Amino acid sequence: MSDGLMPPLAEDEAGLPGPSIGESIPHEPLIGRERRRPFRAFNNHEFRLLFAAYAIGDIGFWISHISLQSEMSRITHTSSLWLGILFFTTFIPMLLFAPIAGVIADRVDRKKMLIITRGAVGLIATALGLVVFANLESPEVLVAFGFFMGTMFAFMAPAQQAATANSVPASDLTSAISIQSAGNNLARIGGPGLAVPILVLWGPGWAFIIYAISNLLMLLTLLPIHLSSHLSTSETGSTWHRWKQGLIYARSRPPAVAALVLMGIFSIFGAAHVALLPVFATDVLGHPRDDFTILVIASGVGAVVGALATGFRRTTPTLGTASRWVAGFGVTGIMFAFSTTWDLSLFLIAIMGFCYFSVTTSLNTLLQHISDDEKRGRIMGLFAVAWAGLIPFGGIWMGAVASAAGAPLALGIGAGVCLTCAGFFILRERSGVYGELVPPLTDPPR
């Protein structure tokens, strides 16, 4: 293995962030009088099918993604430039296309949208496998396939997140998001473990074919699902007009805009830290370069623990809840940046993973709870931009600072910005700037 095996983020595929937990604070509306059962979303048949479909897709994605990184590393002799270009072109479609995808997700059947995009991903994976079998791969070809994959993920993400809300009643939404996150992070741990023997025994071509097969299995699992949703059938106007209506709607649902801003800042200055883990493993902690995967796994374990714990929440997360987790990430990130002990670093990166997925799912759940279903796709499209579309820019500045002054300083600066930003939002939330959560006009349908 090499630095090229470093995956950017698991969430790119799933379109669904990780867990959120946190103490109850004033203004948090109660979801239920009884303490929440963490797996209650599994009581819904449609959600069980959706979870199975996503799990199949997540495992296949990790096999494919690790293989794509490995193949780029092999043919470019681990060129940091080409690996960075592949990272950028895989994520930038979220910024370019997720807003449009959000508009579409509010106009067409979300199940059909998932089937079409998943089918397209399967065809792309098959074509990539055939290219590898024919020995026609080149850096430019792999970058093109990365862009095509990223484009499909961008069109998939708003519909996939909205579909989760359409598969459960409102009272089970937090449980559903946390369970999806736990499954996603389990795939983040186990998927790379499956990719390595496939690459060794069969090669990358078969890895991409296996991903194509996993998308076929996912399609078969999606077919019997019935998603209840209120699509926007009365609105008129162009796609651009509908997207602007989504922005206007976000401004009318406090604290939606503030949540999107917080997510964007956190993505640029916090989420991109994962790109520096290979450098920390070798240059800072003095371990073999392959040991960065242990750091990735430790982060994933922390995220899984947080995902399972979030099911016990009795309340809907607020902006203050998410800000506290951003602060926790900032403090832990500064400690990790200057840790020189392997065991301590493993513990700290697990806490960072816990906090990171707590932030993303807190904000995801908050936005889902205050959104009317006919506008949900557009709100999730904006969330996808703030969450994944801005990560490439975080990778650029962190990589530049790390190259010039070292990875610890780069991560320390990013964690410091996160901590400062968190303090700002916590103070504003306590001063009542954002007021009470605005409930949706129409609850997510059962």
One-letter amino acid at 199 equals L
Mean pLDDT on 271-292: 81
Cα 282 to Cα 244: distance, rounded to the nearest angstrom? 47
Handedness of CA 56, 57, 60, 65 (dihedral sign): negative
Judged by average pLDDT, the poorest of 77-81, 93-97, 250-254 is 77-81
pLDDT tier at 155 (50, 70, 90 boundaries)? very high
Q: What is the model's pTM?
A: 0.78
pLDDT above 90: residue 148: yes
Containing 331, the helix (H) or strand (E) segment is helix 319-337
Residue 26 has a pLDDT of 37
Are 393 and 88 in contact by the 8 Å Cβ rule? The answer is no
pLDDT of residue 435: 59
Coil vs helix vs strand at 26? coil
User: pLDDT higher for 78 or 365?
Assistant: 365
296-to-90, 121, 194, 282, 303 alpha-carbon distances in Å = 19, 25, 15, 14, 11
pLDDT number for residue 194: 83
Three-state SS for 171-183 is: HHHHHHHHHHHHH
- Which residues have a Cβ under 8 Å from the Cβ of 320 and sit 6 or more positions away? 25, 425, 426, 429, 430
Alpha-helical (H) ranges within 43-138 are 45-75, 80-105, 110-133
- Give percent of the chain with pLDDT exceeding 90: 39
> Could you tell me where the DSSP H helices lie in 202-318?
204-222, 239-251, 256-269, 277-279, 292-310
What is the full DSSP assignment across 214-237? HHHHHHHHHTT---------S--S
Distances (CA, A) of 439 to 28, 177, 212: 11, 18, 40
Burial of 396 (0-12, 13-18, 19+ CB in 10 A): middle
Residue-wise burial string across 341-366, b where 16 or more C-beta atoms lie within 10 A, e elsewhere: ebeebbbbbbbbbbbbbbbbbbbbbb
| Sole residue written with tokens 């604290």 | 255
Q: How far is CA 325 from CA 214, 336, 429, in A?
A: 34, 16, 14
60-69: b (≥16 Cβ within 10 Å) or e = bbbbbbbbbb
Which sign, positive or negative, has the C-alpha torsion 417, 352, 71, 291?
positive
pLDDT value, residue 5: 41
Q: How does pLDDT run across 391-430, given as a tens digit for each residue? A: 888 888 888 888 888 889 999 999 999 999 999 999 988 8
Residue 386 and residue 374 in contact, taking contact as beta carbons nearer than 8 Å = no
Instruction: Name the more confident of 280 and 140.
Output: 140
Spatial contact of 142 and 281, defined as CB atoms under 8 Å apart: no
pLDDT at 446: 45
**Measured between alpha carbons, how far is 37 from 379 in angstroms, rounded to an integer?**
27
Overall average pLDDT of the 301-306 stretch: 80
30: β partners: 315
- What dihedral angle (degrees, nearest 10) is formed by the CA atoms of 345, 60, 50, 257? 50
15-63 residue pLDDT tens: 433 333 333 333 444 444 344 566 888 999 999 999 999 999 988 888 8
Query: Which residue type is seen at 144?
Result: A
- How much is the pLDDT for 235? 61
Q: Domains of the chain, with CATH numbers?
A: 3-27+40-227+237-430 (1.20.1250.20)
Return mean pLDDT, the chain.
Answer: 82
pLDDT of res. 161: 86
Q: How far apart are CA 39 and CA 338, in angstroms?
A: 38
Q: Report pLDDT for 236.
A: 63
CB 182 within 8 A of CB 20: no
Highest mean pLDDT among 52-56, 166-170, 247-251: 52-56
Confidence of residue 91 (pLDDT cuts 50, 70, 90): confident
User: Is the predicted pLDDT of residue 346 greater than 90, yes or no?
Assistant: yes
**404 token code pair:** 């010039």
Nearest residue to 304 (alpha-carbon basis) of 429, 188, 432: 188
Give the model confidence (pLDDT) of 97-120 as tens digits.
999 999 998 888 999 999 999 999
Q: Say which amino acid occupies 48.
A: R
CB 385 within 8 A of CB 43: no
- What whole-number distance in Å separates Cα of residue 116 and Cα of residue 121? 9
In this predicted structure, the answer to whether residue 175 has a pLDDT above a threshold of 90 is: no
Q: What's the pLDDT at 288?
A: 80
pLDDT in tens, 114-141: 999 999 999 999 999 999 999 999 999 9
Examine the pLDDT at 12 and tell me if it is beyond 50: no
The answer to whether the Cα torsion of 387, 390, 391, 397 is positive or negative is negative
Output the pLDDT for position 15: 41
pLDDT at position 215, please? 94
Give the integer Cα–Cα distance in Å for 259 and 319: 6
At residue 187 the predicted structure's pLDDT band, cuts being 50, 70 and 90, is confident
Looking at residue 62, what is its pLDDT? Answer: 81
Tally the C-alpha atoms within 13 A of residue 444's C-alpha that lie toward its C-beta. Answer: 24
8 has a pLDDT exceeding 70? no
The answer to whether 94 and 388 are in contact (CB under 8 A) is yes
d(CA 197, CA 179): 28
